Structure 1
């Protein structure tokens, strides 16, 4: 059975070994899972695989999906600005949210037919299998 191998494109966890998980949770963006990396479901079906990336609060324009040397890379970057002015003060806040995930695809995936859609905070990427990799039942006659 072919499998997908996931790698995390973020830097190593520097606070985890010294301070524990709680300090990392404070610095994680609210729209993404712990450590700023969205959760990903990998579903295998007869026709291939489907990746489901939980990334609420983003727009489809925020994502970049790249396939190079059988490595599928999913990244997103979002900039948020908030400015408020009154007679006595001015406040301007901005923040950036970004992540990067990489998956090594099996050779059985047809890279030319990969497609993606973003709906209701879930990025779904269909990874169809090559025709020769699809399981087809075979009847064996008794001689």
Structure 2
């Protein structure tokens, strides 16, 4: 559940950033904007583990809920946001330090989640996705005595 897949949408590429992404500054950010029509947006997530579920808290304020898409396919959870007015609104600003533009995040579920009962809710700028644990594949830790 902790593995994050790289995005393969054509808008992001796995060679940029570290395991959980990096900061995009300076020449690279301007180069990426030229290549893709807009900058690469990396939204942060926290992953909480409870006794019976994993909970992804994705921080993305001021989104239009209708443009959020959460999908599971081939044991991968993908979160996508593509606003319709993204490209048109980008040219209205003389300075832009934040964006509510498109993004995509993908996470390998590794068979540890019951995909058919995943739930998602967007409120107060946080997308909260609850992933119930699969009891057959989530075996509790076992202490091993060292002799």
Shared fold by TM > 0.5? Answer: yes
SS in 2 for 1:61: helix
Aligned residues: 118
The offset of 1:25, in angstroms, is 5.2
Structure 1 position 52, deviation (Å): 1.0
Shift of 1:44: 1.6
Does structure 1 residue 61 correspond to structure 2 residue 69? no
- Computed over aligned residues only, the root mean square deviation of the Cα atoms, in angstroms, reads 3.4
Aligned equivalents of 1:36 and 1:136: distance in 2?
Answer: 36
**8 A Cα contact 2:6 2:13, kept in partner:** no
Alignment correspondent of 2:109:
105
How does 1:19-38 map onto structure 2 within 5 Å?
21-24=25-28, 35-38=40-43
Task: Report the counterpart of residue 45 of structure 2 in structure 1.
Answer: 40
CA distance in 1, matches of 2:106, 2:7: 6
* Unmatched 5+ stretches in structure 2: 18-23, 34-38, 91-99, 142-147
More strand by share: 1
Residue 41 of structure 1 and its aligned partner are, at CA, apart by 1.2
* Alpha-carbon contact 1:43-1:51 (below 8 Å) kept: yes
Structure 2 distance, partners of 1:38, 1:13, is 15
* CA gap 1:4/1:23 in 2 versus in 1, 3 angstroms: same
Distance 2:7 2:78 in 1: 10
CA distance in 1, matches of 2:111, 2:47: 17
- Alignment TM-score, normalising by the size of structure 2: 0.64
Instruction: Look at both structures and tell me which one has the larger radius of gyration over its CA atoms.
Output: 1
TM-score, normalised via structure 1 length: 0.65
Structure 1 portions without partners, runs of 5+: 29-33, 82-92, 138-143
Residue 49 in structure 1 maps to residue 54 in structure 2: yes
Q: How far is the alpha carbon of 1:13 from its aligned partner? A: 8.6
Per-residue Cα deviation, 1:46-100 (whole angstroms, up to 9, x for no partner): 112111111111021110111111011110111348xxxxxxxxxxx53482111
- Cα offset, 1:119, TM superposition: 0.6
